[in-house]
A and B are shown apart, each in its own frame.
Chain A
Amino acid sequence: MPTRVLVPSGVLGLGFDRAALARGVAAKPDIIAIDGGSTDSGPFSLGAGVSKYSRAATKSEWRQLMQARAEAGVPLVIGTAGTCGTDATVDWMAEITRELAKELGQNVKIAKLYSSQRRETVAQALSDGRVTPLTPAPEIDAGRVLEMTNIVALAGAEQVQAALATGADIVICGRTTDTATIAALPLARGDHAGGAWHGAKIAECGALCSTNPTSGVILVDFDERGFTVEPLAEGACCTPHSVSAHMLYENSDPFVLYEPGGRLDVRGAHYRALDERRVRVEGSEWIPGPYTVKLEGARVAGYQTTIMAVLRNAHYVAHAREWMEKLTAFLQGEIASRMGLAAGGYHLDFRLIGLDSALGALENRQGSPVEVGVLGIVTAPTQETAAEIGKLINPFVLHYPLTEDEELPTFAFPYSPATTDRGALYEFALNHVLALAEPMEAFRLEVEEVGHAEFV
């Protein structure tokens, strides 16, 4: 059965074209699907279990989507709620949804798909041989798994279908693959499997597959042979080039995409312009495989304090690297003698902004900067230790001289206090897949009804 999926944007929190969304609702979609996150912003969100986007931005956009859902009378699904898709961020999104239901006077049935994994369960699966590394994967053992702050499994189409089968008006998913929320309904209705996954991949970043990437709203029609994609913003067009080129984006392999239960192969896909804004795609293939889900996990890799100074004096700018190397050696001695900390007990790193702070050892150009920013990053086993090292090095970062026989220099500190405690440094600690006996084995579903119409 043909299925029309409305995708308001690539992620909730980045904004979308309201007029285009209204056109999408008028086009009578069968479902509205949006992504709520990814690993793109780094390990902090998963490590801490919090959203990267502000609550205010999330709520204002979700309000518009809940209104669009009520008008369209179809399910609204969000994947990877709250950036990382932990249970905590699913609950955060559900709380926002309850508030909005009350404010909008809506009666809604909410299904929550939880993706967080118990550490002990993952450690057991590891010892049972059900956890397999991808390339490249961090080294793990049971102890490492048990120290992770959050572990999520990436749900696929089957888990989203189970949530939709509850009859929910709104489905709030924990971690899902980027494509699962879009592919779920077309697959459930028997549309072409290769087309469902391929169309979902094309639409998952919203209008990024069009000539107007920031306009957000995309409509995808799935059927028994493939899919048709159309951007809804005024003046935005999908072309065979813009659509096929989107398979390059953030994919290490532009032709093969692994999903729970198989892989998508688009090498046989052909892209055809239906008119100046719509593209038809057929020929993509879905190849079923073992039912595995990807795992993501994060752990605390220390605590950080930073300090920032700017060198503007021409002599210091010209000798910035020599200065930084001497300073580092001097500070290691001070930290050892005053705090009793050997160099292995903490990590002190100065990045020279203006020389090579972005590329490090890969930098192959030299210039003559007007000034050099000195970003000092201290990483230590506790925040107290990192902060203490920050305070200890502060006066030297401000005044350290290149030579002994000169008047003490003073560099520019941009603010007071000069040090900033950054809290925990999280790192991604899993790039593995977990084999499941059946798709819901690693996921939980809860349904609640929120009724506030009587208060309106």
Chain B
Amino acid sequence: MPSLSERVLKVRSKNAGPFWVTIDIFCGSKAAYDEVSAKLSSARVAELYDAPLQTLKRFDIPELNVVKFSLPRPVVQGGREDRDMHGAGWAVLLEEAELA
């Protein structure tokens, strides 16, 4: 099965303030968008990030061929347990996820 990064243009993650992280999947084409939007379930994303499903926000944006997820940061930015201050590294979990 292909990984998401083989299907899409780019996956970007970044803090949205100290308490949230947001992940943007730039699909790059309508075909890729339709595939990602249909096959990538919110439950799968919640599982990847070990986040409660009900805290996950999802935006499917056909005008931009973007699927976007936002979730509360597992640890607040810069706290003792934080490992990635800017949250940019979380994108790889989706990049490497298989598109079932």
Q: Hey, which bits of chain A sit against chain B, CB under 8 A? A: 39-44, 134-138, 241, 244-245, 248-255, 301-302, 347, 349, 351, 357-362, 364-365, 377, 379, 425-428, 431
Contacts and interface: CB of A to CB of B under 8 A. Distances in A.
Contacts of B83: 351, 357-360
Nearest to B75: A360
A254 B59 contact: yes
B89 A358 contact: yes
Contacts of B70: 252-253
Contacts of B81: 349, 360
Interface in B70-100: 70, 72, 74, 76-81, 83-86, 89-90, 92-93, 96
B66 interface: yes
A144 to B, nearest CB: 14
Nearest to B49: A362
B86 to A, nearest CB: 7
Interface string B49-72: 110000001010101101010101
B15 interface: yes
A44 B90 contact: no
Contacts of A254: 59, 61, 68
Given A365-B96, A427-B78, A248 B24 contact: yes
Contact of A250 (B22, B26, B74): B22
A433 B7 CA distance: 41
Interface residues of B, number: 38
Contacts of A39: 15, 17-18, 77
Nearest to A138: B76
A39 B92 CA distance: 23
A361 B50 contact: yes
Contacts of A138: 76
Given A42-B77, A252-B17, A359-B89, 8 more contacts: A43-B18, A43-B77, A244-B64, A249-B14, A250-B17, A359-B92, A360-B83, A426-B78
A361 B16 CA distance: 22
28 contacts: A39-B77, A134-B19, A135-B72, A138-B76, A244-B63, A244-B64, A245-B64, A245-B66, A248-B22, A250-B16, A250-B22, A252-B17, A252-B22, A253-B70, A254-B59, A254-B61, A301-B80, A302-B80, A349-B80, A358-B83, A359-B89, A359-B92, A360-B81, A360-B83, A361-B50, A364-B48, A427-B80, A428-B79
A299 to B, nearest CB: 11
Contacts, number: 101
Nearest to B84: A358
B87 to A, nearest CB: 10
B51 to A, nearest CB: 10
A220 to B, nearest CB: 21
Contacts of A252: 16-17, 20, 22, 57, 70
B80 A425 contact: yes
Nearest to A298: B78
Contacts of A42: 18, 77-78, 85
Contacts of A248: 22, 24, 64, 66, 68
Contacts of A428: 18-19, 76-79
A20 to B, nearest CB: 25
A292 B92 CA distance: 37
A382 B78 CA distance: 18
A359 B89 CA distance: 7
B14 A43 contact: no
Contacts of A360: 81, 83
Nearest to B96: A365
Contact of B22 (A245, A251, A379): A251
Interface string B1-35: 00000000000001111111010101000000000
Nearest to A47: B78
A181 B81 CA distance: 34
A290 B74 CA distance: 30
Contacts of A250: 14-17, 22
A336 B60 CA distance: 53
Task: Determine which residue in A41, A362, A427 has the highest number of CB atoms from chain B within 10 A of its CB, and name it.
Answer: A362
What are the 3 A-B residue pairs with the smallest beta carbon separation, nearest first? Answer: A42-B78, A252-B70, A252-B16
Nearest to B16: A252
Given A253-B70, A365-B96, A44 B78 contact: yes
A135 B15 CA distance: 15
B24 to A, nearest CB: 5
A109 B92 CA distance: 49
B77 A359 contact: no
Nearest to A379: B80
B61 to A, nearest CB: 7
A427 B78 CA distance: 6
